Amino acid sequence: MLSEFDLIKQYFTRKGRPDASGRTVLGVGDDCALLAPTPGMQLAVSSDMLVEGRHFLAGADAFDLGHKSLAVNLSDLAAMGAAPLGFTLALALPAADPAWLDGFSRGLFALADAHGCELVGGDTTKGPLNICITIFGELAPGTALRRDAARPGDDIWISGTLGDARLALADSLDELALDEADRRQAAPRLHAPSPRVALGRLLAGERLAHAALDISDGLVGDLGHILAASEVGALLDVDALPAGPALARQALDLRRRFTAAGGDDYELCFTAPAANRDAILAAGQRSGTPVTRVGRIETEPGLRLVDGGGAPLALNLHGWDHFA
């Protein structure tokens, strides 16, 4: 049986690694980690917790969980336009299972290395499986993509595609049955999302966007947070929403509901002046992330959904609320 300290040493301590961000003075092993942000930059800090039975099903693949628990945190940095510095990991484990720890840490570090974001500390305890990461990033003062910064007349944009994660969830809950090819395409969107860090950094760094957030609970609900914080309304063309490739093969009503309010998309929704359209398309290309214009910020409060012909659309939609 592994002791707590053996476990930390074996799976979560990487000695002699070059610090990719160049900003970690002291990592795992002391009472605190020491980070040295670039002088003059602001820290961006966010935590996300994944709880078994709530955010993932018991028996979920350990490698995917390692990936996803960091991905959802990187996605928050992306939504702010921040560059990753490092992260901490607070882990409650029912048992010290070497196979699980090996898979989890490999999934975690593969994504950490892809983003130059080092694990610098954490806490480990016995308990029901619970994974909480706190991530640290940095950005230049005044460049953060805040939820309260949308302005009437802004375009509304979406990165990537929406709905395939919700489609994969529906398939795994037997709400519908995907064929094998669609399942193979949709499942990674649910289990291994790609945080849009490069795009977010360009949008903030080049001051192309006003407001942004990452879509975790469904676009309509999450866009509502921007509208409330910015005290504006919006017109959203539901048929302009880019559906994931598997969802694009489904019937129109499902496509509309899962793109507009699917959940677990981890794409960016951002608002930007119309004058920046070409620069935003170029930023999408440079970051390898397609971007699609799907609506407009308006003065009148509320969210108005329309179809491709501009006619009002009534969809029975709501974001995912853990306490509803």
Residues in touch with ligand ADP (CB under 6 A): 8, 12, 28-31, 89, 91, 119, 121-124
Q: In angstroms, rounded to a whole number, what is the distance separating the alpha carbons of residues 184 and 179?
A: 9
31 binds, among Mg ion, ligand ADP, none (CB under 5 to 8 A by kind): ligand ADP
In this complex, which beta carbon is closest to ligand ADP, that of residue 33 or of residue 209? Answer: 33
The minimum distance between CB 123 and Mg ion, in angstroms, equals 4
243 binds, among ligand ADP, Mg ion, none (CB under 5 to 8 A by kind): none
5: nearest Cα among 86, 67, 109, 96? 96
In this complex, which beta carbon is closest to ligand ADP, that of residue 22 or of residue 29? Answer: 29
The minimum distance between CB 26 and Mg ion, in angstroms, equals 15
Q: In what order do the strands lie in the sheet with 212-215?
A: 212-215, 267-272, 155-159, 291-298, 233-237, 302-306
| Residues 266, 194 contacting (CB under 8 angstroms) | yes
In this complex, which beta carbon is closest to Mg ion, that of residue 63 or of residue 136? Answer: 136
Size of interface with Mg ion, in residues (CB under 5 A): 1
Neighbours of 307 (CB within 10 A): 15
In this complex, which beta carbon is closest to ligand ADP, that of residue 132 or of residue 169? Answer: 132
The minimum distance between CB 244 and ligand ADP, in angstroms, equals 33
Residue nearest to Mg ion (CB): 123
122 binds, among Mg ion, ligand ADP, none (CB under 5 to 8 A by kind): ligand ADP
Report the largest interatomic distance among the alpha carbons of the chain, rounded to a whole angstrom: 63
Ramachandran class of 129: left when φ > 0, alpha when ψ lies in -120 to 50, beta otherwise: beta
Name the helix (H) or strand (E) containing 182: helix 180-191
CA atoms within 13 A on the CB side of 109: 13
| Residue 148 interacting with Mg ion (CB under 5 A) | no
Phi first, then psi, for residue 11 (nearest 5°) are -110, -20
In this complex, which beta carbon is closest to Mg ion, that of residue 31 or of residue 321? Answer: 31
12 binds, among Mg ion, ligand ADP, none (CB under 5 to 8 A by kind): ligand ADP
In this complex, which beta carbon is closest to ligand ADP, that of residue 84 or of residue 121? Answer: 121
241 binds, among Mg ion, ligand ADP, none (CB under 5 to 8 A by kind): none
In this complex, which beta carbon is closest to ligand ADP, that of residue 38 or of residue 124? Answer: 124
The minimum distance between CB 296 and ligand ADP, in angstroms, equals 44
Q: In angstroms, rounded to a whole number, what is the distance separating the alpha carbons of residues 125 and 197?
A: 31
The minimum distance between CB 125 and Mg ion, in angstroms, equals 8
Beta strands in the chain (DSSP E): 24-26, 34-35, 42-51, 83-93, 118-126, 130-139, 155-159, 212-215, 233-237, 267-272, 291-298, 302-306
Which tokens go with 242?
Answer: 């880019």
Contact pick of 4, 6, 113, 123 for Mg ion (by CB under 5 A):
123
β-pairing verdict for 130-139 and 42-51: antiparallel
The minimum distance between CB 126 and Mg ion, in angstroms, equals 13
The minimum distance between CB 61 and ligand ADP, in angstroms, equals 19
Footprint on this chain of Mg ion (rule: CB under 5 A): 123
